[in-house]
Amino acid sequence: MLKRNIVVTTFCAVTFGTMVGAGNAQVDSKKALTIGIIESISGAGAAYGEGHHKGTQLAREEINKAGGFDGKPIVFYTEDDRTDPVVGIDAVKKLVTQRKVDVIVGSNASAVTLALSKESEKLKVPVVIGQAGSPTITEQGYKYTWRINLTDAQLDTKIIEYYLTVLGMKKIAFLVENSDYGRLPTKAAAEKIKELGGSVTAYEEYNVDETDFEAQLANIKKSEPDVIFVHGHYPEGSIIARQLKELGIKAQLIVNAGQGVKKFTELAGDASEGTVFPTMWRPGLAEDRPRKFESTFEAKYGAEPGQNEAGAYEAVYTVVEAAKLGGGTSSTQIQEGLKRLRGFKTMLGPINFDSKNQNNGGVRLGTFSGGKIVLLK
């Protein structure tokens, strides 16, 4: 876990050289590209915030080592949102009015991102998201909110569609956190199941911090599903996995992308074996960019990256590409560049924003095997 003494940090680069990449617009940058990073260094989302921090910092180091933007190193100002929406709003105000940042990257926490995106809209400063998954974030009609990762609804629906249409598993039960985080994406997935001729055999909910799921699991067991989909966070999800094993329920366990992290298998132990989750990226891909990212990340941090780290990393590169396309570092120029950004290649796939500034793309399947995360498909 990251130490608290890095909660609010200014990262000033020292490497000068040529601009990273090339673009069609004539760049007219009068100052360094200044990015505000908002992430959960503390609070309930700290484990996710740690991955966000590592991904963004690695991108900054690489970009500045290669010459920065327009011959100037990019500059970061980082704020801890403490996984608290109110703190996230205050962070935006501070970064824009005091630090004079041109663009925001973050947060990893959906609730915080929902709140801060409203504030950034008022201030007309773009927010680029690479990790937070709530569908609502890009359903608010905001012009300055852009997301490169898929929503939880997109991910849940795509994996359910695969299991139903390709593998023929048509009876699906849900056990979800009783919040918008759990309900919104799984309701969308449940509608897709019905549309494709499958059946939702049970739809059960649980409270955050709940530890006994026997009642919900007993109801699910009676419904005889082929698949059990658990959407929530890994502290509860890992307990559910253990209790499924204890109760002898043999259905295929699927968890949401946010639980596809090392912590899940550490807490669930051998009960995590074979659990599947949707993801946009996992280690082990053959392409040059993912292989370089994976090896560089492991060398720097001594750990394997996942989708969260990759998404945060690519959010920074997306900002730099937008500044190139827009012709400079101002918020207006970056916003214009984001509008022009089509087919920009990232480890999450090519970026193609829809009318709501939401990216779309393919989904990979990850699984836990022998205590490790591996690609299934």
As given in the structure block, the two tokens for residue 178 are 């009783």
CA atoms within 13 A on the CB side of 358: 18
Instruction: Check residue 374 and give its pLDDT.
Output: 87
* Domain ranges for the chain: 4-150+286-352, 153-279
If phi > 0 it is left, if psi is from -120 to 50 it is alpha, else beta; for residue 357 that is left
Of 268, 273, 280, 272, which Cα lies nearest the Cα of 159? 280
Peptide bond into 179 cis (omega under 30): no
Encode the chain (377 residues) as per-residue pLDDT tens digits.
Answer: 333 333 333 333 322 222 233 333 444 446 899 999 999 999 988 989 999 999 999 999 999 999 999 999 999 999 999 999 999 999 999 999 999 999 999 999 999 999 999 999 999 999 999 999 899 999 999 999 999 999 999 999 999 999 999 999 999 999 999 999 999 999 999 999 999 999 999 999 999 999 999 999 999 999 999 999 999 999 999 999 999 999 999 999 999 999 998 899 999 999 999 999 999 988 777 789 999 999 999 999 999 898 899 999 999 999 999 999 999 999 999 999 999 999 999 999 999 999 999 998 889 999 999 998 888 86
Cβ atoms of 304 and 374 within 8 Å: the answer is: no
The fold of the 153-279 domain, in CATH, is Rossmann fold (3.40.50)
Question: What is residue 30's predicted lDDT score, i.e. its pLDDT?
Answer: 62
Whole-number Å distance between alpha carbons of 119 and 125? 9
Q: Do domains 4-150+286-352 and 153-279 have the same CATH topology?
A: yes
Q: Which residues of 349-369 are buried (b: 16+ CB within 10 A; e: fewer)?
A: bebebeeebbbebebbbbbbe
What DSSP character marks residue 252? Answer: E
Main-chain dihedrals φ then ψ at residue 331, nearest 5 degrees: -60, -40
Residue 306: strand, helix, or coil: coil
Residue 284, Ramachandran bin (φ over 0: left; ψ between -120 and 50: alpha; else beta):
left
CATH superfamily, domain 4-150+286-352, is: Response regulator (3.40.50.2300)
Q: What is the pLDDT of residue 110?
A: 93
Helix (H, G, I), strand (E, B) or coil at 131: coil
What residue spans of the chain are helical by DSSP H?
Answer: 46-65, 85-97, 110-123, 152-165, 180-195, 214-222, 234-246, 262-268, 288-301, 307-326, 331-340
Element (H, E) at 365: strand 364-369
